[in-house]
Amino acid sequence: MILETLRIALRSMTSNKLRTFLSMLGIIIGVAAVIAIVSIGTGARGEVTSQIANLGSNTININPGIQRGEGGRISRPYTDIFTLELGENILNYSPAVKALVPVGQGSALLISGSTNIRATVVGTGPDYQAINDYYPELGRFLQHEDLQQNSNVVILGSEVADDLFGSGDPLGRKVRLSYGNRTHIFTVFGVMEEKSMGLGGNFNAQVYIPITTYMQKVANTRYVDSYTAQAGSSEEAKIAVGQIEYFLTKSLDGSDKFRLTSQDQIIEVIDQVTNTLNIMLGGIAGISLLVGGIGIMNIMLVSVTERTREIGIRKALGAKRRHIMRQFLIEALSLGGIGGVIGIFFGRLGAVGIARFGGWAPVVSVVSVLLALGFALLVGLFFGIYPAYKASRLDPVKALSYE
Amino acid sequence: MIEVKDMHKTYFMGKIKVPALRGVTFGVQDGEFLAIMGPSGSGKSTLMHLMGCLDYPTEGEYWIDGREISSISDDRLAEIRNQKIGFVFQQFNLLSRTTILQNVEVPLIYRGVNLRRRRQLAKEALEKVGLGHRLTHKPNEISGGQKQRVAIARALVNNPAIILADEPTGNLDSKTGQEILEIFTDLNSQGHTIVLVTHEKEIAEYARRVIELRDGRILKDEVVV
Ligand SMILES: Nc1ncnc2c1ncn2[C@@H]1O[C@H](COP(=O)(O)OP(=O)(O)OP(=O)(O)O)[C@@H](O)[C@H]1O
Ligand SMILES: [Mg+2]
């Protein structure tokens, strides 16, 4: 009986394929949108979270604040405020901060033999490793003695090591580092592991020297560019932000002289963005499903009118209301279901395309497919009820004489 | 078996009353071959719809197999139509998208007969009207006379108590019409009760009893010898 009804439904749908397809278009778009959204949402989120994890965990970046441009002056970051002592004081006066490293950086030319490349020189300290979850693959990283003695020790990022020495062993080799108009000789003591590129930039294209050497010999400054602090957990990171803020506001005499960026904040912002995006796309999906439903209702009403006589004949031959109702409901459900399947196909296609574009693995979960199909069927059912009810209530005599 | 008692049917077109039947009384026994005659608009089709349980009378009673239909539900009426009544219409009224065999199966579907038995019964009914060899054709691939045979097979398939035919030869040429009428005569001699609506005297002559309607009332009700 059900099978029979399904056959009738399919036959009536295939009798006018273009019309059937057009009336399913809304459902197709809606379902494709649902599939694509869920896939893009999970894919993008996964990508972003892995990038954030790449930054090291529970870190807080402390950067100079932006000076307001007044009276024609261009706004630019404050300079000459972050000293090494200030960094130590932040660590000492903010109990929730577990570790802190100063960072000074600039662009330099590195020369070895006849090869030279431009790289970012990062002056920092030993804790840089743990904070960024970034360790040497060969040799060692910077040590406290290097900082105390202002040694000319350099640790190379993996790309830099490759570019300068190729397959040769860089350890113990001399590198000339040209910064501004002065050149220094450094000895390579280590090569860092490869770190995948994330929100923190490309670590592999940097070289690392003691912050003291950087300040006193290379850049000739008494100030560092920024600090990176780390807390023990994400809860402590929140507390640490408050403590650093309090301490710096007092010691720098103003809260506009520095900026704090914690991972939590980044995650929050990204969450907000993805949420907004999801709400938007969800809205599109919802609206197209609604429009799709109305499309189904419309085509079903047309179908009921066109088949008034058939309904009359079936009633004369003994069809009860529920038989007629069932026939048209199954037809509406089939419209929703087939539209849903086509939509899933296009949604997958979209998800795969966008995933390729965004550089993450396409995830089309079973749950999202079932969800979308469920929605499509539900929409078909819901918007099929009224036409089916109308059909089931037709007066047999009038239906039979319908021209 | 069928009792029509002072039956009235009034149609309402907006506020205007159109009385189609104004007090009709008669009975039909098992195995009868009855013709209902009358000019256009005299209420023949209206009477047939009521006898076929497609509609409720406005007034009066209609008894079929010991039950009065005024008080029974729509769905129960559908059951009665399915099991006790076979319709044959002037416009054939076949389902155009399905094959002849499937057309004949429809009453069996609503009766809940399983597929195998349905196939078998539908084939048998089609063989009875001489169409056992065209089962897979669609209605638009066969002639008018053949369509009407399919309709008769469909009316027969549930073995109903009564077959109601409203101008079954109205869309056929006289030779084909005669063949159809022969089928009805055959069926009647096999014991089927037949009610034939027509406005032609020659056709009514096949019947053994003629009721003549005029303006919604019975003018004559006589047995043909
Ligand atoms: N659905 C309806 N609404 C209003 N009036 C109707 C309706 N059906 C029939 N009538 C009227 O009822 C009267 C009887 O109609 P009916 O169809 O029973 O006549 P008939 O004898 O079958 O005529 P014909 O030989 O032309 O088929 C006519 O006056 C007709 O106009
Ligand atoms: Mg008529």
pLDDT of residue A57: 75
Residues pairing with B118 in the sheet: none
As a whole number of angstroms, the distance between CA B115 and CA B94 comes to 20
Quickly state the pLDDT bin for A199 (edges 50, 70, 90). low
Residue A107, token pair as written in the block: 């662009």
Pocket test for ligand 1, best of B9, B16, B18 (most atoms within 8 A of CB): B18
Cβ(B11)–Cβ(A398) under 8 Å?
no
Residue minimizing CA distance to atom 28 of ligand 1: B41
Could you tell me the distance, in angstroms and rounded to a whole number, from the CA of residue B44 to the centre of ligand 2? 6
User: What does the mean pLDDT of chain A come to?
Assistant: 88
Q: Which among A312, A323, A397 is the nearest to B110, CB-wise?
A: A323
A397 touches chain B (CB under 8 A): yes
Q: Within chain B, which residues score under 50 in pLDDT?
A: none
The chain A residue lying nearest B83, using CA atoms, is A318
Verdict on whether the full-model pTM lies above 0.80: no
Total domains present in chain B? 1
Q: pLDDT tens-digit profile of A366-388?
A: 888 898 899 899 999 999 999 99
Judging contacts by C-beta atoms under 8 Å, the chain A residues touching residue B55 are 395-397
Residue A55 has pLDDT above 70, yes or no: no
Residue A73 has pLDDT above 70, yes or no: no
Give the pairing of strands B33-37 and B193-197.
parallel
Judging contacts by C-beta atoms under 8 Å, the chain B residues touching residue A11 are 97-98
Could you tell me the distance, in angstroms and rounded to a whole number, from the CA of residue B20 to the centre of ligand 1? 6
Residues lining ligand 2 (ion), CB within 5 A?
B 45
Ligand located closest to B41 CA: 1
Residue minimizing CA distance to atom 12 of ligand 1: B20
pLDDT of residue A6: 78
Residue A372 identity = A
pLDDT of residue A54: 64
Mutate to test the interface with A, among B51, B55, B81, B140 (most CBs of A within 10 A): B81
Q: What is the CATH number of the domain that holds B157?
A: 3.40.50.300
pLDDT of residue A267: 76
Minimal CA–CA distance to B89: which of A312, A307, A391? A312
Report the percentage of chain A scoring pLDDT > 70.
97
Could you tell me the distance, in angstroms and rounded to a whole number, from the CA of residue B5 to the centre of ligand 1? 20
Q: What number is the ipTM of this complex? A: 0.95
3-state SS of A310-355? HHHHHHHCCCCHHHHHHHHHHHHHHHHHHHHHHHHHHHHHHHHHHH
Q: pLDDT tens-digit profile of A118-146?
A: 999 999 999 999 988 899 999 999 999 99
Q: State the alpha helices, DSSP H only, in chain B.
A: 44-51, 74-84, 100-111, 115-128, 144-156, 174-189, 201-204
- Residue A177 CA to its chain's centroid (Å): 38
> CB distance A318–B78 less than 8 Å?
yes
Give the domain extent around B34. Answer: 2-223
Cβ(A340)–Cβ(A29) under 8 Å?
no
Q: Which letter does DSSP use for residue B140 in this model? A: G
Q: How many residues are given for chain A?
A: 403
Q: pLDDT tens-digit profile of A213-248?
A: 999 999 999 999 999 999 988 788 889 999 999 999
Contacts of A175 (CB under 8 A, 6+ apart): A110, A111, A112, A154, A156, A164, A185, A186, A187, A188
